[in-house]
Amino acid sequence: MSAGPYNYSYIFKYIIIGDMGVGKSCLLHQFTEKKFMADCPHTIGVEFGTRIIEVSGQKIKLQIWDTAGQERFRAVTRSYYRGAAGALMVYDITRRSTYNHLSSWLTDTRNLTNPSTVIFLIGNKCDLEGQRDVTYEEASKFAEENGLMFVEASARQMGNRGDNVEEAFLETAKKIYQSIQDGRLDLNAAESGVQHKPSQPGRNNLSADQQASKDNCAC
Amino acid sequence: MVFQKIFCQQRKLSVTNLQYSLKADGKEADIILSTNKPHNFSILELHAISEFLRKPYPMVDNTESSIDLSPVLDLCSQLSLVNITGSFNHYLHSNIVLNKLSFEFSPFKNLKFLNMKNVALDTIFSLGNLRSTLERLNVDNTNATSVCQILQCDVIHKYNLEGSQKWDRLETLNLSNNNLTEIDNTISLVPRLKNLILNNNKLSSISNLSDLSNLSYLSLCKNLITICNDLHTKVGNILTLNLSQNNIVTTKGFSKLYSLENLDLSCNKITDISEIQYLGDLPCLENLVLTGNSVATTVDYRIKILEFFGERAKDICLDNEKPCQSELDKVSLLRALRIVKEGKTPNLTSSFNQ
């Protein structure tokens, strides 16, 4: 209990975007629950997940907004770009159309987030090598041209490639943390997508605060 | 000519009125501009200015001295905060009804805040460039029944959305105390809207808000809202939602509004404590108000509500009051008892938090 859910110093907000059926919810599930969800229902509007990770010895809570890929929810999911510190843009390596739509996803991301938002491109379902429709080189070139970080991953396959799911979330966090260290990301800006939490006392733990102030007074 | 009519019937009145404003404008314009208070306009003044602008210029009144309008227009073009109050009664002892006089906003080039009270919207024949400068609009006490009557008050074919009708900079829209019956699709003409306040209207549903990707504050106090299903598909990344004084019976529709931080459901019709359980999974919720519901009179009400939030109970400010330690202890006890009773292991959602 003492290592409760408030023992972290930052909150980073992520958004996962991409066409319908590319496996956004499965990536989230894999990352937060470490399980593959075989029959994942269509997301209605938005789903949510959290996990606490560690970057450079700092505990960071990731708040992840998993948006619906269906066109009919596009308007409502657009609002979640606001205040996202990281955006995971997902396509399906077995369906070229999902790759072709990346530029429109990227435009949305660039328009609706702030310049310091880290964008990570994920080619999902790389366990289905036989059905591959987009080569690694092609996507890698696209990522490079647009200044995105890129990885191919599989939410289904744990082990070598499944780890890439983990890597995508962690690398994004590292880059955001780096921006904070460099002072490029303003923690006080409302839409930065990053909140700093004083790590020690639970912020609403009145008795602890009072205790602390008493200690300070007894000088 | 309405304007001449004023002159004939109310010559003295109208002229003094204008001269008053002229004087103020010529000498005190700088003072008006330097104070950060909204300048009050009467409908009569606005009407007179509008009529002047329609005339060949300069207009010289036969009997009175000529009136130079340039200081007035100069002031208008620089004003950023304006209050307008209308009236449906006869003006003083005349037969003039202020809200029948038409006026326009084209002299205002730099207006950021506009507050209109008790105004007849159909008398506004042009919004000038209000759509590209205004940041905050309050429209109070009109008989408008739909949003289009306000946002498209100068447009003949309402509901017909055109890009040129967009309110490019408007961020706060307060349409309280009108007779709005629905939020129609003209609300999407305000793409940058952050705060929407529609208190005291006759709204029965929440609709057409999904296009507003910046909306973070929504207040719908004192309306007729009964059912709110799947709110997360209707409003996106919202932080504050005020639905006090409606007819809501359950919180089911709020269960996926994960971004919500403040929720006011006071004075609704929630009777059963289990109807609150859907709020338990909202990860960002900090302030919850449930007073004025019959559920708030249940025995051990606070503890039962706080129990839904599990580990987060200590962060929930319920009815403007943080839980005290004894309440938190009881919540932990209740949770433990429940686990024993139901014979299931605790839900280890926090397993990653260690």
Q: Do B235 and A82 touch (CB under 8 A)?
A: no
Strand partners, B3: none
Report yes or no: B322 at the A interface, CB cutoff 8 Å: yes
Q: What is the token pair recorded at A142?
A: 């696209």
- Contact list in B for residue A170 (CB cut-off 8 A) is none
As a whole number of angstroms, the distance between CA B286 and CA B236 comes to 18
A218 close contact with B: CB closer than 8 A: no
B167 vs A109, B24, B190, B206, CA distance in Å? 23, 31, 5, 21
How many domains does one find in chain A? 1
CA atoms within 13 A on the CB side of A173: 24
Indicate whether A4 belongs to any domain.
no
* CB spacing of B236 vs A112 below 8 angstroms: no
**Among B234, B283, B353, whose Cβ lies nearest the Cβ of A48?**
B283
| Residue A203 bridge partners (DSSP) | none
Contact at CB, A202 and B322, closer than 8 angstroms: no
Contact A32 B352 (CB under 8 A): yes
pLDDT per residue of chain B (354 residues) written in tens, 0 to 9: 334 444 434 444 454 455 445 555 556 677 777 788 888 888 888 888 887 777 765 555 544 545 667 777 888 888 999 999 998 888 777 778 888 888 999 999 999 999 999 999 989 989 988 999 999 999 999 989 999 999 999 888 887 888 889 999 999 999 999 999 999 999 999 999 999 999 999 999 999 999 999 999 999 999 999 988 899 999 989 999 999 999 999 999 999 999 999 999 999 999 999 999 999 999 999 999 999 999 999 999 999 999 999 989 999 999 999 999 999 999 999 888 888 887 765 555 544 443
- What are B132's two structure tokens? 């590209």
CB B180 within 8 A of CB B141: no
| 3-class DSSP state of B111 | coil
Q: Which residue of B has its CA nearest to A2?
A: B354
Q: Report DSSP letters for A76-129, one per residue.
A: HHHGGGTT-SEEEEEEETT-HHHHHTHHHHHHHHHHHS-TT-EEEEEEE-TT-G
A5:B314 CB<8 A: no
* A1 domain residue, yes or no: no
- CA A177 to centroid of chain Cα atoms: 13
CB contact under 8 A, B232 and A46: yes
The answer to whether A7 contacts B314, with C-beta atoms less than 8 Å apart, is no
Structure tokens at A4: 């409760």
Count of Cβ atoms closer than 10 Å to residue B38 Cβ: 15
For the record, the structure tokens of A65 come out as: 């907004």
| A3 within domain boundaries | no
Q: Which residues of chain A have pLDDT under 70?
A: 1-6, 158-162, 198-219
Is the CB of residue B193 less than 8 Å from the CB of residue B217? no
Interface membership of B207 toward A (CB under 8 Å): no
Backbone angles phi, psi at B325, to 5 degrees: -60, -40
Kindly determine whether residue B314 and residue A44, on different chains, have CB atoms separated by under 8 Å.
no
Say if residue B258 is exposed, middle or buried (CB neighbours under 10 Å; 0-12, 13-18, 19+): buried
Provide, as residue numbers in chain A, all residues whose Cβ is less than 8 Å from the Cβ of B314. 202, 204-205
| Residues from chain B contacting residue A44 (CB–CB below 8 Å) | 230, 232-233, 256
Q: List the structure tokens of A116.
A: 């310091």
Tell me how close the Cα of B286 comes to any Cα of chain A, in angstroms: 10
> Does residue B237 belong to the interface with chain A, where contact is any CB pair within 8 Å?
yes
Residue B90 CA, chain-centre distance (Å), reads 29
| Cβ within 8 Å, pair B259-A75 | no
Q: What pLDDT sits at residue B72?
A: 79
* A123 within domain boundaries: yes
Query: In this predicted structure, what is the pLDDT of residue B161?
Result: 84
Its domain, for residue A27, covers: 10-217
* Chain A partners within 8 Å of B353 (Cβ): 3-5, 7, 52
Domain holding A39: CATH number?
A: 3.40.50.300
Establish if A205 touches chain B: CB-CB under 8 angstroms. Answer: yes
| Token pair in block for residue B217 | 């504050």
Q: For residue B292, give the amino acid letter.
A: G
